[in-house]
A = this chain, B = another copy of it.
């Protein structure tokens, strides 16, 4: 229908795939927001990252992450299969290129949950689609500290390091397109849904 009105060479982004990248400090609640968003929007497909960090009890290999050994990760890096990879607290995280490209080829939009540096790397990776960068934050610094503590898996040392890293990460917010505050899960999910819907209607030159 859009074809009736748009000149040759122009379209709306929703006619092809879009990569939505969600990043933010540890404790922002990325995983909860993302899984609820995926449940509501069937055109969005999750890009599963590879990581060398240990699996948490509630995580599933191939759904939350591909949990790989150091050697397997080295292999992914050297064969050029990662779109980007970063190190975070001694563990490596990477985005397999095929996770993104295969989904775009199926006409899906792709949702990525990555570290802040990874998000910026993906924006520069020359993907054949628009890349939308969303930064998720908790409502305040106090709340961020409380959430990491509540997770209960952290030593004081690790907590301090996470907070230092978070301070560094938020300095990159101006390089992102959208800032979503995760005060209540429902609000954050609705805002992310709106961002996805709006970007699909955005006019672009192909």
Collect the chain B residues with CB atoms within 8 Å of residue A10's CB.
173-174
Contact with B along A72-108 (1 / 0, CB 8 A): 0000000000000000000000000000000000000
**Complex: chain B residue closest to A24, CB-CB:** B5
Contact with B along A164-176 (1 / 0, CB 8 A): 0000001101101
Q: How many monomers of this protein are in the complex?
A: 2
Q: Say yes or no: B179 contacts A12, CB within 8 Å.
A: yes
Other-chain residue from B141, B173, B191 in contact with A6 (beta carbon distance below 8 A)? B173
Q: Say yes or no: B205 contacts A194, CB within 8 Å.
A: no
For the complex, what is the distance from the CA of A173 to the CA of B181, rounded to whole Å?
A: 32
Q: Contacts A173-B7, A193-B194 hold; do A179 and B2 have CB atoms under 8 A apart?
A: yes
Q: Count A-side interface residues using an 8 Å CB cutoff.
A: 36
For the complex, what is the distance from the CA of A176 to the CA of B197, rounded to whole Å?
A: 17
Contact with B along A144-178 (1 / 0, CB 8 A): 00000000000000000000000000110110111
Other-chain residue from B174, B201, B202 in contact with A203 (beta carbon distance below 8 A)? B174
Other-chain residue from B137, B139, B177, B191 in contact with A197 (beta carbon distance below 8 A)? B191
Apart from A5-B170, A180-B201: 9 A-B pairs, beta carbons within 8 A: A1-B139, A1-B140, A12-B179, A135-B203, A177-B202, A177-B203, A193-B194, A195-B198, A198-B199
